[in-house]
Each structure stands twice: as C-alpha cells, then as structure tokens.
Structure 1
Amino acid sequence: MARAFTSEQGGQTEPGSALTRSSVYRAVWRWHFYAGLLVLPLLIWLAVTGALFVYHQAIDRYVHADLLTVPVPAAAGTEPAPHSAVLAAALAAQPGTWFKYTPPAAAGRSAEVGVRTVDGDKVAVYVDPANAKVLGTLSDRGTLGWTIRKLHSLKYFGPVQRGFIEMAAGWAILLVFTGLYLWWPRGSVAASRGGVVTVRGTPRQRVYWRDLHAVTGVVVGVGLLFLAITGMPWSVLWGAKANEWANGHDFGYPAGVRVQLPMSGQPLADMAHLPWTLQRTQQPGSASLEHQQGHAAHAQTNAEHNPHIWHGEGSVAQSAATSSPARTALDIDTVMVLVQRLQLAPGYTVNPPQGAQGVFTASAYPHDLALQRVVHLDQYTGRPLLDMSYGDYGPLGRWLEWGINIHLGQEWGVFNQLLLLALCVGIVLLCVSGAVMWFKRRPAGGVGVPPLPA
C-alpha cells in the first residue's frame, strides 16, 4: 500500500521548524516498512492456507470419500442400525471409551464416533449407519480439512508458534492504517491518480510495482483489516482474555443461567466443537441422588422464569427416570430419541457424561448462525438442564460469532467463499508486489530502510 517517498511529497524538514508533513510521512513510511518486513511471509501463509480452508468440506469429501460417504439405501424408509450398534461396532474396531458421536448429517453420509484409546489417544471411527459396518479410522480431527485449519493457525506446531499469528494480525492492522495514510492522494486528483486508482509503467519498472501495491492495497486493505480483527478471537493471548471477559460480563453467556444449575467443572470445549462464545463455559452437572427430588422441584419453580431450561414433561425422559434405578445413566438409544425430539440442525454431535456429575451434551454448529445450539441433558433423567442458541448470546457474543462466520466463509454461502478467495489472492498479490517494490528500490548491499524523519 506504500508509495515511495519523493521530495515532491513534502521535501526536507526546515531546521528548527515544528513537525512537518514530510517528517510525519517519513515516520509512517518506516512503520509501514518494518511492519511489512515482520509479517509479509506470515500474511502469505495465512492467505494460502485460508483460501484452502474455505473449501475444506469439499476437499474432505473428495480426499476421504471412502470414510465420509456411504451408499444410499435402495429402499425408501429403510431403518438404520440402532445408535448403540454403531457405537458398539466402533468400539470393537477401536477399543476404548467413546467421547463423541456424530450421526450422519444427510443420506449418503457416514456416522463418526470419537474414541479415546487406553493410551489416551483420540481416534475417529467412521461407520455406515445403515448396517453398523466400520469404514475406517483416522486420528481425531485428522482429516485434511482439519489439518489445513491447524496449519492456518500454526496450532499444528504448538502454542509458541501460534503467538506469531497473533503478532501478524496485530501488525497487519498497523499495515492497513499506515498504508492508507501513505496511499492518500496529495495535490490535485489528476496529478496523483497514478498509484491511487491507476497503475503506471511496465513490470520491468519499479513504479509499476509501487502503483500495483498501492491500488491493490486500498481495495484489499478493508478485507485484510476485517480478517485480522475477526481472527483475533482464536489467538493465544488476546483471544483467551477476550473470551474470558465476554463470558464474565454476560456479553456471551446469558446472565442467570449458570448460577441456577449445578456445575460439573468440565469445560464445554473439551468435549465438543463449539462456537467461540461458548468455548470457555462449563457443562452443567447432573443432579446427585440426594438432590434429584429437590432439583426437580427447583426446576419446576424456575420453569416459567428461565426459557433456557426445559423440563420435558410427558417425555421419554420422565418415563426413563421413573422406571430406571437411581443413579443409572440413560442408554444412548434413549438419549438419541430425546435429542431428535429437540430438532437440532443436522450434523449435531452428542458427547457422553464424564463422571457421576457429568451430562449428555448435544451441540450443533451449522453455517446458519440462527441454528447454533447447545443442549445439556441430565444423564439420569434425560431432562435438558440448559438449551442455548445464538439468540441467547449477549451483543458482543453475537457480533463476534457473526464476524467469525464470515471469516470461515459460512455466512453468505458461495458468495462468501468467492469473496474470501478473491481477498486471499489479493493479499498474496499485495505481499508479492510489496516485496518486488522493495527489492527494486533497495540500494546494492543494503536493506533499504526508509530514511529517518527529522
């Protein structure tokens, strides 16, 4: 976005004079140069991996077709295998304990069972839901799409490396604002059109790359600023603190819900892939034996005052609670009946309770923000302890989720994907033109740092 400094853009600072336009320009130019020097390779990395991730679902369906797709039953209305049979087949193929179950999102898709092995590893087992036949295994979140996502955030390499992404986002914001200042036309519009709205010269000339960098920058800069800001919630330091603050001030998690429920102490994100706003919240805890009756009475009292807590009167949950022995967790087939009645968006995931105070959790994280939903079920009664959707988030939570949804290419369908693809190509062009411009401008044997202001 920068344009090389020339004497026509301000000249030299007069001795003893106050701060001049020339010295400000030189200072901004140096900041822009150093910011670009620091993050240019990272911006190219983020743009390339980000463009690939926009199409991660299509990539996975092609690369892992043998695991993710199954034949559609020939006979309409054919009953699939029981959910318990799908889990049993997965555990027979990969011994351990299951921690995640994702029924098929549509006909022709496989079911996925997350299994924690005796060694503590997490494995994804893919099963044909029609006959409970195991199709194969991968490491949990081991598809090519998830690998691209971890490469994009540098999570693949560890927390220290992820800090570089946070640094790149911060410096990218500085790049945009300093670049805008350097691009801003000075003098008459006709005289400053080159490098503002038009590109002069040929690729053999430095002025061509300078103008290409400036014109591309003003178009791409707004998108780059948006991506930098909406990407910050995933960062190591800023993102963690922002999430903690949002949930601690009722901007993300609705006020009054957590304190009205017993808590398990189990972080929700340990078990499910969730919206950013909910990743630091805890799972509610199932009522203990001695408190089940008191909790039921307390829940009845709160029914009219808390729309997030649903009590399932007349449901399978009540009959199961009545007929089952005390403190006996519901089986998966009964739980799935309850979850299906809640009508979560296809592609939802169910997580089992962790310990005696744990809960069954059903979560849906589809492209449509309005359908985001997390439901916690008491493992003994099947009663939903909490039912939360996007509309229940606080204002900051809703804004952040909306920005993240666009960042992921999910908000406006194909248009969102094409927009992000064009933006990523523009970022690469911006970085390449800036590097070429610098290489052509730098003195032989030197770095070519812009001159110090007076």
Structure 2
Amino acid sequence: MTSDVQELQSAPERTPRPATWPALRALVLRLHFYAGVLVAPFLLVAATTGLLYAASFQIEKIVYTHELNAPAGRDMLPLSRQIAAARAVHPQGTIGAVRPAAEPGTTTRVLLDAPDLPESTRLAVFVDPHTGQVRGALESYGSSGALPVRAWISTFHRHLHLGEPGRLYSELAASWLWVVALGGAVLWLSHRRRALRPDRRARGLRRTLSWHGSVGLWITVGLLFLSATGLTWSNYAGANVDKIQTALGWTTPSLSSGGGDHSGHTGHGGGTATTADADRIVRAAQGAGLSGPLEIVWPAEPGAAFTVKEMDREWPQRNDQVAVDEATGEVVGELRFADFPLAAKLIRWGIDGHMGVLFGVVNQILLMALAVGLISLIVWGYRMWWLRRPTRGFAAPPARGGGRAVPLTVLAPVGAVAIAVGVFIPLLGISLLAFLAVDMVLGRVRAGR
C-alpha cells in the first residue's frame, strides 16, 4: 500500500485536456461578434431596403391605379385593335411583347422597344381592353414588369443606385447573413436557458439578450433562405453558383421550335409581325392549354415563331411556354414547367419567394416580418455591445484560448471548410481574413498593455 501511494505521488502530474466545445463556442462567439459589429451596417441597409421592396408591390398598385385598371366592361376588343390603339399614340420603337388584360377591370400592356431607354427597360403602353383608350405609358423594367416606383426601389435594394460597385454591399450582406444566423442559433441553443420565448422578467442586458436570442432563433430559417437566394444574384458568388448549375445540369431549359431558341427574344422585339396575328397566336396558345396571365413575345426576325408565356408566379405556378408559327398559327414547340428538373423548379420558386410573388400578399408580409426581425436583431446586438462596452477602446469578447484550445483534429477540418467556403463566396473569405487580421492586431495591442 505504501509503495503504491509513493508511486502515485511520484508520477508526473497530468494536464487535463481542454474541452473541445467550449473552445469552439468561444470562436463562434468571437466570429459572431465581429460580424455583428462590422457587417451589421450592411445587413441593416439590406433589411431596410428589402422591407421597402416587399411593400413596393402594393405601392405600385396605388400609385399607378389609373394605368393598371380600367372600368370593367362586357365585351373586349380584339387584341389586334388594342395594339393598334397603342401604336397610334406611341408609334416610336417596335413591339417587343404584349400582356393582354388578365382579368376584368385591368388593362392590356403593350411593351415597346423604344430608343433611348435604359437596358432591360421598355415603354409600357396601357390600353383599356373594352374601349381601346390609352390610359398612359410608363417605363417597365425586367421580366417582372416593374413600373418606375418599384423599379427604383428594386435598384435601391440591389445596389443603392451606385451601379456595379454598389452591388458589393448586397453581396457582402448576403454572404454573411447565413453565417451570422447559424452562429447565433448555435450560440443561443448552447445557452443553458435555450428559451424559445424572450424572458420578460429579465432586465437590462439579460432582457436584451433574451429578445435577441429567441427572435433570432425563430427567424433563422427565413434568414438562411434570403441569404441563399440572394447569393444567386450576386456578382462573384453568383458566378460560382452558375458554374455548379451548369455542371450538374440544373439550368433552366429553354424553349425550342426546331428552328432555334426563341425564348431569348424577350428584350429584342423585332416587331416584324402584324398586329392582326396576335389574336390567332393567343388562340393557338390557349388551344395548347395555356391560360392567363399571358405574355406574347414578338419574334426578333421575320418568319421566326412567336413565344407565348404563362406569367402566373403565384403558387401553384403556371409557367408553361409555347412557340407559335406566324404563318400557320400552329404550335411548333412546347416547354412545360412540369418537365423542368427539380433543381430548376427549386431555383424558380426560390427566386419568386425572395421577390415576394410566390405566395402573393402573404409572401410579402412574411418578407416584411423577416426584415423587421433582422432590423430588431441588429439594434439589440448593438445595444448589448453598448451595455458591455469597455471603458477604453474597442474590445471583442474573450477568446478563452481561441484556436489553440481546439484540438487539431477538429480545427483542421473546420479550417478546410472555411477555406472552401471562402473561395466559393469570395467576399466572405476576404472579409473573414480581414477580421482575423484585426483580431490579431487587437490581441497584440492587448498583450502589450
């Protein structure tokens, strides 16, 4: 017994191995802090402009109610006469497409490729389908047909009217949104309270933290959705997404009539067909099963086929397309949304959900709620930092050992994933390196003190 005790006393003292999760949690907390303080301004701008965009659909209907609506009548004029009425008032340019009145009380929209208009913009002439009266003309942007107010808000949300350099702000916000959302959810779920509801009995910092954590947890899925769909429109990450889609065959199929692809004629609009052809084109498309709202795209070259598209973006969507021969009025090509690859459908649904059209007004309300939630999280985050602010200078939360406390078997794969994600999402990778550099500088300054 004595020898055993002596042997234990003489044995070298073992240093306890550091726990992996506390060290990882400290790193996540540090990253969440830096992203919250330094990236939050970009997220705040994106959320505010996104909130405005979600409301822009209703704003558009109010501002342009005269152009978009007409007194409901019993009989509708032939589409050819409606187009002729629009051309009589606006003879400039060529016909690019026509969107017949989708329901009683709405106007027909004749889209003209007029000179001196910005890229992806057409002149939309609004015609009363019952009387042929032209009720106005406005610039129409993109495939969604955004009118000036909504187009201005959309551009403001996309790049703050700063052009291509301005798109860096929205890509940076989308690049970090999923990181901040996931990191916050992990931190809150690892908290001992794990509350799904804010603690209303708490006061001060604890009350703010309770609201920040619980609300953030509830909207995490929505924030991940906005981040993923937003990155598909970005410059650098979006280009990588396109490469993956092409490599995996996830691209959206195109309509072909055997004589070439006609789906890409939108935006060119040769206007070579006569207005009398439009009625026959519509009847042929309806005979193929298409129903309104429709868009008839004029062919870019003489003898090429018309393209007729279903424009219903609300669930359940109708996105079928047909190509109609101008001379015979026969359907010479079909593209059914039901035949799209699943990935292409998911991309379509994701884009429409991000834009707020997939579920109509409900979709827009959900987007507004997400935007308000994100704005609240940012405000609460800054309030927590202010309540815990150091008396001097800028200080991040303690690293509690930082990366040195994390076992190499864990740190190595985490680092490899971070590098891969940083390469795929370049603005995330570059800003992450900047955060690490700032952290090292602050650490050396603190150590010097």
Q: Given the two structures, how large is their TM-score scaled by the length of structure 1?
A: 0.72
Match status 1:220 vs 2:219: yes
1:208 aligns to what? 207
CA contact (8 A) 2:57 2:150 kept: yes
Q: Note if contact 1:60-1:144 (Cα within 8 Å) is conserved in structure 2.
A: yes
After TM superposition, the structure 1 = structure 2 runs for residues 7-406 of structure 1, keeping only pairs within 5 Å, are: 20-73=20-73, 76=74, 78=75, 80-94=76-90, 95-120=92-117, 122-141=122-141, 142-154=147-159, 156-186=161-191, 192-193=192-193, 197-199=197-199, 205-243=204-242, 245-246=244-245, 249-253=248-252, 261-264=258-261, 267=264, 270=267, 331-356=277-302, 358-366=304-312, 367-406=314-353
In structure 2, distance between residues paired with 1:379 and 1:414: 38
The structural deviation recorded for 1:225 is: 1.0
Deviation of 1:374 after TM superposition, in Å, equals 1.9
Q: CA 1:126–1:386 in 2, change beyond 3 Å: closer, same or farther? A: same
Gaps of 5+ in 2: 1-13, 142-146, 405-449
SS in 1 for 2:372: helix
Q: How far is the alpha carbon of 1:197 from its aligned partner?
A: 4.5
How far has the Cα of 1:229 moved from its partner?
1.5
Alignment partners' CA distance in 2, 1:241 and 1:93:
46
Shift of 1:394: 0.5
Q: Distance in 1 between matches of 2:392 and 2:290?
A: 63
Check conservation: 2:352, 2:358, Cα contact below 8 A.
yes
Instruction: Give the residue type in structure 2 aligned to 1:41.
Output: P
- Residues 47, 374 of structure 2: 8 Å contact kept: yes
SS in 1 for 2:232: helix
Aligned to 1:431: 378
| 1:449 positional shift | 2.4
For residues 196 and 112 of structure 2, what CA distance do their matches in structure 1 show?
A: 57
Residue segments in structure 1 that go unaligned for 5+ positions in a row:
1-13, 187-191, 273-285, 287-326
Cα deviation, residue 210, structure 1: 2.0
- Bigger Cα displacement from structure 2, 64-73 vs 354-363: 354-363
Deviation at 1:239, TM superposition (A): 3.2
Q: Indicate the larger mover: 177-186 or 209-218.
A: 177-186
Conserved 8 A contact 2:309-2:320: yes
- Residue 350 of structure 1 aligns to a residue whose secondary structure is strand
Change (3 A) 1:120 1:414: closer
**Partner Cα separation in structure 1 for residue 38 and residue 266 of structure 2:** 33
Decide whether aligned partners of structure 1 residues 110 and 266 sit closer, same or farther in structure 2, where only a CA change above 3 A counts: closer
- Determine if contact 1:330/1:380 at 8 Å carries over to the other structure: no
Q: CA 1:99/1:398 → structure 2, altered by over 3 Å: closer, same or farther? A: same
**Equivalent in the alignment of 2:396:** 449
Change (3 A) 1:382 1:252: farther
Deviations 1:379-411 (A, max 9, x none): 343333322232111021122223334334444
Q: What is the CA-CA distance between 1:35 and the residue it aligns to?
A: 1.9
Q: What is the TM-score when the length of structure 2 is the normalising length?
A: 0.73
Indicate the SS of the match to 2:152. Answer: helix
Q: SS state of the match for residue 135, structure 1?
A: strand
Structure 2 letter corresponding to 1:97:
T
Partner of 1:314: none
Q: Is the 8 A contact 1:166 1:236 kept in 2?
A: yes
Shift of 1:369: 4.2
Separation in 1, partners of 2:205, 2:178: 26
Which amino acid in the other structure matches residue 290 of structure 2? L
Contact 2:188-2:213 at 8 Å conserved across structures: yes
Q: How big is the shift at 1:171? A: 0.7
Contact 2:284-2:331 at 8 Å conserved across structures? no
Deviations 1:253-288 (A, max 9, x none): 459x75x8332587356469xxxxxxxxxxxxx9xx
* Cα pair 1:213 1:434 within 8 Å, conserved: yes
CA shift for structure 1 position 435: 1.6
Q: 8 Å contact 1:376–1:384 — kept in the other structure? A: yes
Please state which structure has a larger fraction of its residues in helix: 2
Contact 2:159 2:165 (C-alpha < 8 Å) held by counterparts: no
Q: Per-residue deviation at 1:155?
A: 7.3
CA distance in 1: counterparts of 2:248 and 2:17, whole angstroms: 50
- How much does 1:434 deviate? 0.8
**Secondary structure in structure 2 of the residue aligned to 1:139:** strand
| 1:414 Cα offset (Å) | 5.0
Give the secondary-structure state (helix, strand or coil) at the position aligned to 1:448.
coil
* C-alpha separation in 1, matches of 2:236 and 2:315: 28
Contact between 1:102 and 1:113, CA under 8 Å: does it hold in 2? Answer: yes
Q: Against the structure 1 CA distance between its residues 125 and 216, is the aligned structure 2 distance closer, same or farther, given a 3 Å change threshold?
A: same
* Structure 1 residue 110 displacement after superposition: 0.9
SS of residue paired to 1:153: helix
CA distance in 2, matches of 1:159, 1:165: 11
> What is the SS of the residue equivalent to 1:371?
coil
> For residues 252 and 178 of structure 1, what CA distance do their matches in structure 2 show?
31
From the superposition, tell whether residues 28 and 129 of structure 1 become closer, same or farther in structure 2 (CA, over 3 Å).
same
SS at match of 1:223: helix
Alpha-carbon shift at residue 231 of structure 1 (Å): 2.8
Partners of 2:98 and 2:109 within 8 A in 1: yes
Aligned-residue offset at 1:92: 2.9
Q: Work out whether residues 370 and 389 of structure 1, in 8 Å CA contact, stay in contact via their aligned partners in 2.
A: no
